[in-house]
Amino acid sequence: MSEAEAKPEKYVRPLPPESRGNAPGRNRLKGRKILVVGGGQRVLDAATDPVGNGRAMSLLFAREGASVIVADMNLASAEETATKITNDGGKAQAIEADISKPEDIARMVADAHAKLSGLDGLVLNVGIGVGPLGLAGANADDWDKALAVNLRGPMLTCKEALPLLDDGSSIIFISSIAGLVAGSRLPSYDASKAALGGLMRHVAMEGARRGIRANIVAPGLVDTPLGRLATQGRPSRGRSPTPFGRQATGWEVAYAALFFMSDEAVYVNAQTLAVDCGMTGIS
């Protein structure tokens, strides 16, 4: 028997309904009022685009019984997400907001609170990578632009939202394993995503007396339109080995966020969950 014949083939598990976004809702968020910042998605190829993380979370939260405000700098994309929700029998409204603009943040949070008559959930699904790869090509303008979206925006959103959130609310920051290990080759992206952990822990500390939890979901490689665009700019990304032999779906990231948003995670606070099939643990 040859070595190739003796070596077992790598097991590839068929995608379950949750990974494909086909699982039914179970009322895990019944009656909740949630603002998803970054709930639209980029269009790369409308005919073949998979679902993005923000859209998947918005759709899933609504399917689980929540009323959702979908905020995005691209209003048409936010409205498309909201329409998908309402067409599916859920409750959603869209808001246009650019998280890099402080005035937009204040208006977004106030509008979301007014439209839903309260808020008990907040998701910060924002992040950009700009500039050339490596420190040699880094410059102050790209650094400031990245941190304005990836770190300052979430900080200002939490500043506006914390006084308005109901006791017992949940805040979820969508980070990246680039905040845990070097990998994106964009210094501003890696640094801002790592700093998001410090911000998350501070928000968790301030919210703790009111039972407000703050946690991070840190996706690894995810097959989204934005991920495919990143691969076009850095082809090596698409060749990165993963323990499961595939990239995650946006739905798999959404289900991790659903856990943090639900009462199932009521005693989980100031934690980071890597959704990366073990890339940061066993690679």
Q: Known catalytic residues? A: 189
Residue type at 45 in one-letter notation: D
> Cα(129)–Cα(185) distance, rounded to whole angstroms?
10
Question: For residue 248, what is the DSSP state?
Answer: B
| Whole-number CA gyration radius for the chain | 19
> Cα(274)–Cα(219) distance, rounded to whole angstroms?
6
Give the strand order in the sheet containing 91-96: 91-96, 67-72, 33-37, 121-124, 170-174, 213-219, 272-275
Query: 79 is written with which tokens?
Result: 């409205």
Where are the extended beta strands (E) located within the chain?
A: 33-37, 67-72, 91-96, 121-124, 170-174, 213-219, 272-275
Print burial letters for 203-225: b (CB count within 10 Å at least 16), e (below 16): bbeebeeeebbbbbbbbbbbbbb
Number of H helices, E strands in the chain: 11, 7
Query: CB-hemisphere CA count at 13 Å for 39?
Result: 31
